[in-house]
């Protein structure tokens, strides 16, 4: 992994963060000095606007990097929130210190940039149920552990978080999950998702 | 511009395409050999699924690059469509021929990858009117030419195309445009958009 190699070889000062599921790093225009590399875990990157609106941009995993940008520092009406969906280890380092190696960052960022298309695909659905099912499919693709008869998604992901990602509310998501559980497509318990029947899940879309 | 420099310096075979507004390049799994560099113009990159569903991923402009990927070549149920919104000049070159310079591609792609977040921001709105207004704001940010009392968007963008980007239909978009014209926020004529009053446009969101 070239970036990690550069960080250690060039003695670049790094800080390690340990986030438990639900912990978040807040990045606003006045503390936007760092780049974060995900060593292990799962994160949701969102913009939180001053009117409390939240837009989730990407679901990130190990080897992805978090770079945030503010166009106009003096007038930004949002901050970034990076929230852990599982125990997550982050390495942070200063933007300036890595500048001579920006090519390495660009390459590392290529994979990360593909994650943005996932959110576009989820949000392209207008219907909340379709958005939720598409999200479950992407979570299982990114994090799913396949067992004989089911797929385990080893994240801690609250109904509120699911709702926030798809732009819905906790109650609606709760009702939709109950429907999918009733059909035996999935099981959701203590913030853990298990997909029992992928075909019936896909067929549940409107 | 380093990529263009590499292409000429290393004698890499390139083909130049000229697209008129409305022309499209179709990329499917069996002809997915090329990378495209936008020299001038404006493009919409979309996935078109076999069930005719279309998802637009990004609005691209000069210096952006188009790289498409198919995960599973044998089973892909979609193709990519790259449609011009204005007279557009594209340079295409083979994936293989540029492989030794993948770092340059990665750097060039960094800017392009940021365009994906625009579509996320548009689609995060459920309401069609809000999606349309957000799209107009982004088009004016990317392509707008500011005059004394108005912003001209020098693209040829049909109502059908606007509808396709925001996941709506031509009629609804037509009605919404009439409303915005009635409020004197914008003017839309012969596929050209002029924004007369940015503040009233933003205030028209629900």
- pLDDT tens sequence across A182-201: 999 999 999 999 999 999 99
Q: How far is A126 from chain B (nearest CA, A)?
A: 6
The distance of Cα B142 from the centroid of its chain, to the nearest Å, equals: 10
Domain boundary among A114, A134, A158: A114
The pLDDT of A112-134, averaged and rounded, is 90
**The pLDDT of residue B73 is above 70:** no
Q: Do A120 and B121 touch (CB under 8 A)?
A: no
**The pLDDT of residue A1 is above 70:** no
Q: Mark whether A43 and A108 lie in a shared domain.
A: yes
- Chain B positions in Cβ-Cβ contact with residue A57 (cut-off 8 Å): 117, 120
Check residues B50 and A74 and name the one with the higher pLDDT.
B50
Q: Do B107 and A110 touch (CB under 8 A)?
A: no
Confirm whether B120 is domain-assigned: no
Q: How far is A57 from chain B (nearest CA, A)?
A: 7
Q: Mark whether A23 and A57 lie in a shared domain.
A: yes
Residues of B with CB under 8 A from a CB of A: 55, 57, 69, 102-103, 106-107, 109-110, 113-114, 116-117, 119-121, 123-124, 126, 167
Q: Mark whether A9 and A88 lie in a shared domain.
A: yes
- Chain A positions in Cβ-Cβ contact with residue B69 (cut-off 8 Å): 114
Check residues B8 and B143 and name the one with the higher pLDDT.
B143
Confirm whether A19 is domain-assigned: yes
The CATH number linked to A136 is 1.10.10.10
Number of domains in chain B: 2
Q: Mark whether B13 and B72 lie in a shared domain.
A: yes
The pLDDT of B50-70, averaged and rounded, is 89
Q: Mark whether A103 and A129 lie in a shared domain.
A: no
Q: Mark whether A83 and A133 lie in a shared domain.
A: no
Alpha-carbon dihedral angle through residues A189, A194, A198, A203, given to the nearest 10 degrees? 10
What is the overall mean pLDDT for chain B? Answer: 90
Check residues B3 and A154 and name the one with the higher pLDDT.
A154
What's the pLDDT at A73? 55
- Chain A positions in Cβ-Cβ contact with residue B117 (cut-off 8 Å): 57, 116
**The pLDDT of residue B46 is above 90:** yes
- Residue to mutate among B100, B123, B203, with most A CBs inside 10 A, is B123
Q: Do B120 and A55 touch (CB under 8 A)?
A: yes
Q: Is B129 strand, coil or helix? A: helix
Check residues B116 and A161 and name the one with the higher pLDDT.
A161
ipTM: 0.77
Question: For residue B148, what are the CA distances in angstroms to A8, B152, B191, B206?
Answer: 53, 10, 22, 28
Confirm whether B143 is domain-assigned: yes
Out of A69, A106, A167, closest to residue B106 by CB = A106
Q: How far is A138 from chain B (nearest CA, A)?
A: 14
Q: How far apart are CA B83 and CA B165, in angstroms?
A: 11
**The pLDDT of residue B115 is above 70:** yes
- A1-10, A36-45, A131-140: which has the minimum mean pLDDT? A1-10
Confirm whether A194 is domain-assigned: yes
Give the position of tokens 């004197």.
Answer: B184
Confirm whether A119 is domain-assigned: no
- Chain A positions in Cβ-Cβ contact with residue B114 (cut-off 8 Å): 69
Q: What pLDDT digit, counting tens, does each position of B61-70 carry?
A: 999 999 888 7
Q: Do B120 and A119 touch (CB under 8 A)?
A: yes
Q: Mark whether A186 and A140 lie in a shared domain.
A: yes
Q: Residue A180: which domain range? A: 125-203
- Chain B positions in Cβ-Cβ contact with residue A123 (cut-off 8 Å): 120, 123-124
Query: In terms of Cα–Cα distance, which of A59, A190, A56, A38 is closest to A136?
Result: A59
What's the pLDDT at A75? 66
The CATH number linked to A93 is 2.60.120.10
Residues of A with CB under 8 A from a CB of B: 55, 57, 69, 102-103, 106-107, 109-110, 113-114, 116-117, 119-121, 123-124, 126, 167
Q: Mark whether B55 and B137 lie in a shared domain.
A: no
Q: Mark whether A141 and A109 lie in a shared domain.
A: no
Domain boundary among B115, B140, B162: B115
From A167, which residue of chain B is nearest by alpha-carbon distance? B124
Confirm whether A153 is domain-assigned: yes
What's the pLDDT at B74? 58
**The pLDDT of residue A172 is above 70:** yes
Q: Mark whether B34 and B96 lie in a shared domain.
A: yes
Q: How far is A63 from chain B (nearest CA, A)?
A: 16
Question: What percent of chain B lies above the pLDDT cut of 90?
Answer: 62
Which tokens belong to B40?
Answer: 């001038």
Domain boundary among A114, A137, A167: A114
Which tokens belong to B78?
Answer: 């979609």
Q: Mark whether B133 and B71 lie in a shared domain.
A: no
- A8-22, A106-120, A147-161, A189-203: which has the minimum mean pLDDT? A106-120
Q: How far apart are CA A139 and CA A160, in angstroms?
A: 16
Q: How far apart are CA B19 and CA A206, in angstroms?
A: 37
**The pLDDT of residue B88 is above 90:** yes
């Amino acid at each position: 992994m070239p970036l990690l190699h550069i960080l250690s070889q060039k003695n670049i000062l790094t800080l390690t963060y340990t986030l438990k599921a639900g912990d978040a790093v807040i990045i606003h225009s006045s503390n936007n000095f760092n780049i974060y590399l995900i060593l292990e875990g799962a994160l949701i990157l969102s913009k939180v606007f001053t009117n409390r609106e939240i837009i989730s941009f990407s679901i990130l995993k190990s080897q992805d990097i978090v770079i945030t940008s503010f166009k106009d520092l003096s007038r930004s009406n949002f901050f970034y929130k990076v929230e852990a969906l599982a125990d997550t280890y982050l390495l942070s380092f200063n933007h300036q210190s890595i500048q001579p190696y920006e090519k390495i960052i660009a390459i590392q960022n290529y994979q990360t940039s593909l994650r943005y298309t996932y959110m576009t695909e989820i949000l392209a659905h207008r219907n909340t149920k379709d958005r939720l099912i598409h999200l479950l499919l992407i979570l299982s693709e990114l994090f799913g552990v396949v067992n004989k008869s089911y797929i385990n998604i080893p994240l801690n992901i609250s109904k509120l978080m699911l709702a926030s990602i798809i732009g819905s509310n906790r109650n609606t998501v709760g009702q939709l999950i109950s429907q999918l559980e009733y059909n035996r497509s999935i099981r959701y318990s203590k913030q853990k998702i298990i997909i029992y029947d992928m075909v019936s899940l896909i067929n549940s879309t409107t």
